[in-house]
Structure 1
Amino acid sequence: LFITLSLCCISLSLLSMFFSLFYDYVWVSAMVILHFILSTILYVLKKYKDIEGTVKMEEVDGQELVKKFAEEMEEMLGRKMKSVKRLAEAAEDADLYHEFNETLEFDYYNSMLINSYDEDGNSVPLGGEFPLEENEHFNKLPVNTQQSNIQVPTNVYNRDPDILNGVYMSEALNDVFIDNFNKDPTLTWQYFGSSTGFFRLYPGIKWTSDENGVVTFDCRNRNWYIQAATSPKDVVIVVDVSGSMKGLRLTIAKHTINTILDTLGENDFVNIIAYSDYVRYVEPCFKGTLVQADLDNREVTHERTHAAALGQGSLCNQAIMLITDGAMEDFQEVFEEFNWPERRVRVFTYLIGREVTFAENVKWIACNNKGYYTHISTLADVQENVMEYLHVLSRPMVINHDHDIIWTEAYMDSVAQSLLLMTSVAMPVFSKKKETLSHGILLGVVGTDVALRELMRLAPRYKLGVHGYAYLITNNGYILSHPDLRPLYKEGKKLKPKPNYNSVDLSEVEWEDTEEKLRTAMVKGETGTLSLDVRTSVDKGVSTFVFLSVCVCWQIFLLCFISSVFISVVLTHLNSSLFFSVFPSGLHDLLAPDLIIASEWTYCETDIDPAHRKLSQLQAVVRYLTGKEPDLECDVLLLQQTLFDAVVTAPMEAYWTALMLNTSGIEEGLETVFLGTRSGLLRFHLFSSLPRSFLTSTDKENMFTLDHFPVWYRRAAEYPAGQFLYYMPRQDTRGIGETFTEQTHTQTTFGAFSYKSSQTTTVTFCSHHCEFMAGRFFGEIDGSSDWLIRKKGDILQPCDTEYPSFVYEPSVKETNSIIKCGRCQKMFVVQQIPDSNLLMLVVQADCDCSRQYGPLTMEPEECDRMRSQKIRRRPESCHAYHPQENANDCGRASFISLSASLFIICLSISALAS
């Protein structure tokens, strides 16, 4: 409540009297509503008290709970791994018995061309009739679950002999795809990405090109392909920027660098060095070291390329990428001193331009350092030539037949064009032919996707309580899934992923007061329990709580591959679970029109049987309880709790109606009354026919979702029993004077009762426009946030934001002070409204402070990115060397002098990483 007084000074005694009168007015005017709320609370408590004997309360063992979650996740992810292994075995067997045929003619279903016809109505080549049917399980996309099909990038000829032979050989995967899906109906996309460029996808879909009519998707650029095909790597990119590298050559060189950067992941390390007459680091902050090739650091190097973790490294593959238009000598003495005879650092050379000189020296450097040489004459050549280095790095792993299974960081599904976060499990596919064993031929990578939302369903909200939550991180400390991860931003009416949505560190979301104790323990793979103070934001970061959390960490062991992923559950003190005996009645109460259940929670598993996929959760529950679908897999404990709450709260609609009819003066302003319970059940009654956006499927903040309880529920749970919470819903489209009043009794864990009012209670005391101020930040009204108006626009780049967090302190009943604003000063007084979260603020209005704030200036901290490199854990698997590797296959061929000191610098950086 905000009041401005045009007085030269404020009398505290006068204000005290004014406050008392104001408090009495508000209390009397709101008494009717408060009586309505209190009557409802007492009625609900009585109903729960009546059946107290059927309730059994048990304390939750946090470690046992997390252990159970981890075991269930392990079992789920284990099924995905088995599916991928079956695909890899089938692909390798098919290749073993396939003889390459240079003249092979073979028609296949090209996903770009299926169901396409020419002017005469005939199917186009590589098209044909390909039945598609919309499928709920695959994001409602039209798919063919009986057949896979092939996607080929625009820059790859779809009838090339390598493509035709690979597609023909991989036809054997069709039956395995279908068999996998039948064994595990929760599987999503299954695929095989070939080293030649084609992509076999199940189920088959119709692929669409971009707005330019081009298919830019290349499976070999995807993280799941790159991580499965190679071990972690340290890469130093050396680019020639001398006088001869101008125009098209420099453009090709930049594109080559960016393509190499796009093949790196968060387990790789990189740096870029430019040379001409002297040597310089493209990013000065990265001087003399290698930095983690996460999305943030790759973006920095991308930008620096266009414009012109200290002591860390992967400690595995090490490579120098030389991009030049020629070399006058081979620098044999440099390599003899620093790299031979082990040749631990591979050198890959990229010769740029149509007309080249001294090509033999460039090729010699690659071939004598276990690398690969390519000649890039046009921009179209870049992609294929860059990918060759991945096949070379994969040779030791292929020869040794080490089928490492990898899990990727979070990413958004490009196949379904979905904004849901996914992770992929992938496995390399090798040639098992004895005659090519020493060449280490990588055939491709098989994999499948796992929606992270589905994984987190195994840690259900009702078992964690109102402030409990679970999350997953990678070995690098980056978030896979977290309820406070906000990976999207709004541009106009469209949602788009943020630039660094999959490289958000845990410390950026979990605001610890200690030295990142939790993050360090999780990255190191420690199992145990931690107690620490954290700050937790609600209402999209508008409100912040500080409370003691008990964090239980558990490492998920799924062979050695999954040791980089951890689960943690945060449980607040006094958090309990209710275990009820089976409640026989109450089914009819679930069908009441005033009741809904959390649509994103899993009461019954509807994704296993295709016949169940179109059922809502409520429909599935009803069919299960009535015996129509006895084979449905349902969470019996959650159903018992939901039935229990439904029976106890069943009389609420009649009770609310009776109260409304029997209480005078309540009709005006009361819009909605509602009650939520921890089982995800929500009862509500509408007293107004006005259209609403509150408590609808689009109002995520105020509904039970997979990630959190409603914001009004969470905030009410923080207040002492018997107090009233006033809350402004930020997503209501009308948004004028809309207020919640809530009361919660925290000695029970059943729920929170609220009513929603569309009338302000302070009309008599403020001007006619005061209702438009409701819900706005006080600084906007007072003018102290006018500096925000000066900003020119948003800059879309990752940054650390520092801002004040205002904490409500209930123990301070009244305070006052003076604010100096240039030549004047003004006094303010703050007093608490008893039994509520409201404050009355009185401020002098004869002193304007809005002009004292100048433009906000922010100076970037040089090299802050380097200082923020955090602890990580390297992947355990590494395949960098094999004595049987045949390094003679080192490139194909189609006026600058390199300096010996340049190679010494590059080799020294690689040695430092070791």
Structure 2
Amino acid sequence: EFDYYNSMLINTVDEDGNNVELGGEFALEENEHFNNMPVNTLQSDIQIPTNVYNKDPNILNAIYNSEALNDVFILNFQKDPTLTWQYFGSSTGFFRIYPGIKWTPDSNGVAAFDCRNRNWYIQAATSPKDIIIMVDISGSMKGLKMTIAKHTINTILDTLGENDFVNVIAYTDYVRYVEPCFKGTLVQADLDNREHFKMLVEELHVKGEAKIKNAMKESFKILNEVCGSMCNQAIMLITDGAMEDFESVFEEFNWPDRRVRVFTYLIGREMTFAQNTKWIACNNKGYYTHISTLADVQENVMEYLHVLSRPMVINHDHDIIWTEAYMDTLFTTKAQSLLLMTSVAMPVFSKKKETLSHGILLGVVGSDVPLLEVMKLAPRYMLGAHGYAFLITNNGYILAHPDLRPLYKDGKKLKPKPNYNSVDLSEVEWEDTEEKGSVSLCLLLNADVQSVSPLCLCSFGMVLTRGPGQLMFMGNVSVLDFNKPLFLRTYCETDIDPGHRKYSQLQAAIRYLLGKEPDLECDEVLLQQTLFDAVVTAPLEAYWNALMLNDRVEPGLETAFLGTRAGLMRIVRYAGVETRVAKRFLTPVDKDNLYTIDHFPLWYRLAVENTPGSFYYYPVNDKGPLSRHLNAKRHVEKPENSHFLLLLPVQDLNCFLVDNNGFILLSKERNEVGRFFGEVDGSVMASLIKMGMYKKVSLFDYQAMCKNSHHHASSARPLLSVSIKRVVCVFVRFLLDFNLCGLWHSDYFVDAHKQKKVDALQPCDTAYPGFMYDSSVREANSLIKCGRCQKMFVVQQIPDSNLVLVVTQCCVFLNASEHNATVKCNRMKSQKVRRRPESCHAYHPKENAKECGGASAISLSLSLFSAALLVSSLLHRWT
């Protein structure tokens, strides 16, 4: 007996007010470092899935042996207070997490979380693998067997990751690829391809007679000819029985080396062909399992991972892995926000000599790392307004990037996109082929220079992109000259030492510079730049205040502001919040227009991309109730003596201020502000494009979300006589198949579930036009036929700005967007440029392959057996 803190049962009492078994009092306190969740930083606790018995002797022994990790986790957190969650996932199913938390079950009261299904566990426990899934779809697989088989395929697919390759083959008397596009090849098991396979598997239907030999030959040919992960190779055979003579296939393709492992899953209650199915697995270094119900699928599928881990465990190799980006969704019920995370993990195995050949994996230990912490290693202020850093995996997928959009809006809720962690580098960056020669390009932004440093053979790397410019202004100033608040940037790490957490960023910076807190970790270069900017720009704020006192502020001007590269902002409000139109602008909720740790404000980036000495006008994206009043106010980076144009409403004339991308900034119709000019007056926009004043460019969005189209099939109502015939046939078949003994065993019943809700939006690629103004054309006018009438328009460039004045007479609507949501075959199966993981553990001569599963015995019902003996004895006496 061994008691432990069960995270589901802690702080829970029974009807008498006593602590429930495995519960007890467990102190919890909200902690800002852990998203304000109630945690216990002095103790870890245990989470166990509902389908695992929490007092099983194997579970209790494994929990007891892992108790020493509690002190290790605490010591790690004391040494590095920036650490987040630390955990150990056991191969027996329990999950030790630090700091300890109260685990919240789902709406049905079930703890469905199983650490062995998580990507960090699977990647750390196994090496990369090529998997061929063979599923029997013959007539004998009808009904519940096919349902179990489909669930088994989906569960296997969920155990695969970016470093793995896969294909799915359905077989009867012929071989059929579930995706004809993937015929004869392997595709990377990224999220898009896995979900695509799942969708196609649901459409499988039983038919014909099973011929396993042809399907097995096809699988071996793919594994022999296609270069996938170049490591482990396995065939997953899902069937209700194997009757053929298939030994010749293994002799031709797999023996004697047995380079390809074969795992077999016997579906259904029948055990007639169990020995044949087990023979296949045991003679090909695989594992045999029997799956009779849906509840058996998860536990039995996971067995193959422990078999693949044997060579690594016998070698005693602690390979450290980093996962792809994922949302911190385990604690979304209490956490205030979703964070993109990555996990670092490594395997834990038994070193006992007597069990060395068995390769016993004890579990996986790991920790979560917020990607925001990794990005702090490349401060944005050191890269400039045009520079940025991004993280990329060895498979070419983005971990963090300024253009990565992991969330989409579904109604009023923000949801993670289904493929948010499988966005390829080519979907956020333009390719440079480095071909020789010269070319003239019209760029949306200034040219970037990228540098990649191969620091190590890791799972991901950081890329630094910098813009033009080599110098920065520096100066020696006193901290006493600085009294401005610091914005959303981290100048000093106040979370490391608990004694420093009481300081604000301004207080911490001043105490550090004055030498009062030398132990503080501060970015001294950033602080010196901020101090220098504060002193140099101080006279400007005095000038703004003088304008206000002398009533020299022009009507309509609400806010003047200045920002520097170091993150210093000076703001003066000339209008109160009651009369201000853009109430959110430069407030904490206006994240686009404020400095943050990972990006410059939008207005700052627009201004530095503009020609020096000119003004840049752009509309404020104020989503409040006054958003349609934006034409009354425009925020610009400009001196106070510049003037806005006043557009007087004139009958029969429409006047617009249009920016360099064709969007309206000022109009006499408030609902037209912020719209594309082509939507308001398509004929004039078409003429401007034809005249060369605007150039049309094609833009692509590879992270778009499009409406999901559902295909439904309907057929005519059958004749009544046919219906009666079918009812009779089904009823007779039911009587023949029905087994009364099944009523004695609740294991044979499966609860009904609601149909899975299909999201209204799905990932897609969209193409749409963009427009750029040619500043060499300063003015234009023309006469356009508009139906039976004629209309004239005049266009005039506004000097030293990004605006043009357009005066027109009538309006024509133009739809300026088009979508292309078709998923093309060649893109799904294309082999991306990637670097395969260096570590591979596919074989070890000391591996004991004799442990390959066992055939399940038919269970004996003691009550039925006793009743039968009693009745038999009574009848014997009476006769």
Q: TM-score, normalised by structure 1?
A: 0.77
Residue 184 of structure 1 deviates from its aligned partner by 1.7
Greater shift, 315-324 or 641-650, is seen at 641-650
Q: Spell out, residue by residue over 1:358-399, the C-alpha distance to the aligned partner (whole angstroms, 9 max, x if none).
A: 111111111110000001111111110000000000001111
Alignment correspondent of 1:316: 231
Q: How far apart, in 1, do the equivalents of 2:463 and 2:187 lie?
A: 28
Return the match for 1:740 from 634, 641, 663.
634
Return the match for 1:687 from 551, 566, 574.
574
Alignment correspondent of 1:364: 279
Matched residue SS, 2:389: strand
Return the match for 2:536 from 623, 632, 648.
648
Return the match for 1:836 from 788, 798, 801.
801
Alignment correspondent of 2:347: 428
Alignment correspondent of 1:448: 367
Residue 152 of structure 1 deviates from its aligned partner by 0.7
Residue 778 of structure 1 deviates from its aligned partner by 1.7
1:609 equivalenced with 2:497 (yes/no):
yes
Q: How far apart, in 2, do the equivalents of 1:359 and 1:798 lie?
A: 43
Q: How far apart, in 2, do the equivalents of 1:206 and 1:755 lie?
A: 61
Aligned 1:67-466 pairs, distance under 5 A: 105-308=1-204, 311-417=226-332, 418-466=337-385
Q: Spell out, residue by residue over 1:409-437, the C-alpha distance to the aligned partner (whole angstroms, 9 max, x if none).
A: 11112334352111111110111111111
Return the match for 2:465 from 551, 557, 570.
570
The amino acid that maps onto 1:725 is: Y
The amino acid that maps onto 2:775 is: P
The amino acid that maps onto 2:367 is: T
Q: How far apart, in 2, do the equivalents of 1:756 and 1:825 lie?
A: 37
Alignment correspondent of 1:555: 454
Residue 836 of structure 1 deviates from its aligned partner by 0.9
Aligned 1:691-706 pairs, distance under 5 A: 692-706=583-597
Alignment correspondent of 1:28: none
The answer for unaligned runs of 5 or more in structure 1 is: 1-104, 518-530, 536-543, 591-595, 745-752, 786-790, 895-914
2:474–2:532 contact (8 Å) kept in structure 1? no
Name the CA shift for 1:456/1:883 in 2 (closer, same or farther; >3 Å). same
Q: How far apart, in 2, do the equivalents of 1:828 and 1:241 lie?
A: 68
Matched residue SS, 2:765: coil
Q: How far apart, in 2, do the equivalents of 1:763 and 1:362 lie?
A: 85
Cα RMSD over matched residues?
2.9
Q: How far apart, in 1, do the equivalents of 2:640 and 2:228 lie?
A: 55
Residue 190 of structure 1 deviates from its aligned partner by 0.9
Q: How far apart, in 2, do the equivalents of 1:480 and 1:120 lie?
A: 51
Alignment correspondent of 2:612: 721
Matched residue SS, 2:63: helix
Alignment correspondent of 2:433: 515
Q: Spell out, residue by residue over 1:8-42, the C-alpha distance to the aligned partner (whole angstroms, 9 max, x if none).
A: xxxxxxxxxxxxxxxxxxxxxxxxxxxxxxxxxxx
Residue 158 of structure 1 deviates from its aligned partner by 1.0
Q: How far apart, in 1, do the equivalents of 2:392 and 2:640 lie?
A: 36
Aligned 1:791-802 pairs, distance under 5 A: 796-802=761-767
Residue 568 of structure 1 deviates from its aligned partner by 1.6
Q: How far apart, in 2, do the equivalents of 1:670 and 1:548 lie?
A: 35
Greater shift, 647-656 or 814-823, is seen at 814-823
Q: How far apart, in 2, do the equivalents of 1:392 and 1:374 lie?
A: 13
Matched residue SS, 1:804: strand
Residue 491 of structure 1 deviates from its aligned partner by 2.1
Q: What percentage of residue pairs aligned between the two structures are identical?
A: 68
Alignment correspondent of 1:807: 772
Q: How far apart, in 2, do the equivalents of 1:276 and 1:826 lie?
A: 70
1:482 equivalenced with 2:401 (yes/no):
yes
Residue 356 of structure 1 deviates from its aligned partner by 3.8
Alignment correspondent of 1:879: 841
Matched residue SS, 1:724: coil
Matched residue SS, 2:234: strand
The amino acid that maps onto 1:449 is: D
Residue 737 of structure 1 deviates from its aligned partner by 2.0
2:187–2:829 contact (8 Å) kept in structure 1? no
Greater shift, 694-703 or 800-809, is seen at 800-809
Residue 221 of structure 1 deviates from its aligned partner by 1.0
Q: How far apart, in 2, do the equivalents of 1:218 and 1:754 lie?
A: 62
The amino acid that maps onto 1:276 is: T
Name the CA shift for 1:824/1:113 in 2 (closer, same or farther; >3 Å). farther
Name the CA shift for 1:282/1:825 in 2 (closer, same or farther; >3 Å). farther
Return the match for 2:561 from 653, 674, 681.
674
The amino acid that maps onto 1:636 is: E
1:186–1:608 contact (8 Å) kept in structure 2? yes
Q: How far apart, in 1, do the equivalents of 2:126 and 2:87 lie?
A: 18
Q: How far apart, in 1, do the equivalents of 2:541 and 2:72 lie?
A: 54
The amino acid that maps onto 1:830 is: V
1:598 equivalenced with 2:490 (yes/no):
no
Q: How far apart, in 2, do the equivalents of 1:253 and 1:670 lie?
A: 68
Q: How far apart, in 2, do the equivalents of 1:494 and 1:755 lie?
A: 44
Matched residue SS, 2:483: helix
Residue 246 of structure 1 deviates from its aligned partner by 1.7
Q: How far apart, in 1, do the equivalents of 2:440 and 2:507 lie?
A: 42
Q: Spell out, residue by residue over 1:529-580, the C-alpha distance to the aligned partner (whole angstroms, 9 max, x if none).
A: xx99999xxxxxxxx82322111111222xx4x1x42222111112533333
Q: Spell out, residue by residue over 1:731-751, the C-alpha distance to the aligned partner (whole angstroms, 9 max, x if none).
A: 44222225434347xxxxxxx
Aligned pair count reads 740
Residue 249 of structure 1 deviates from its aligned partner by 1.1
Matched residue SS, 1:807: strand
Name the CA shift for 1:516/1:222 in 2 (closer, same or farther; >3 Å). farther
Alignment correspondent of 1:63: none
Name the CA shift for 1:612/1:782 in 2 (closer, same or farther; >3 Å). farther
Residue 817 of structure 1 deviates from its aligned partner by 6.4
Name the CA shift for 1:856/1:472 in 2 (closer, same or farther; >3 Å). closer
- For CA contacts below 8 A with separation 6 or more, give which structure has more relative contact order: 1
Q: How far apart, in 2, do the equivalents of 1:433 and 1:222 lie?
A: 27
Residue 476 of structure 1 deviates from its aligned partner by 0.7
Return the match for 1:709 from 583, 597, 600.
600
Residue 667 of structure 1 deviates from its aligned partner by 5.3
Q: How far apart, in 2, do the equivalents of 1:861 and 1:197 lie?
A: 38
1:317–1:880 contact (8 Å) kept in structure 2? yes
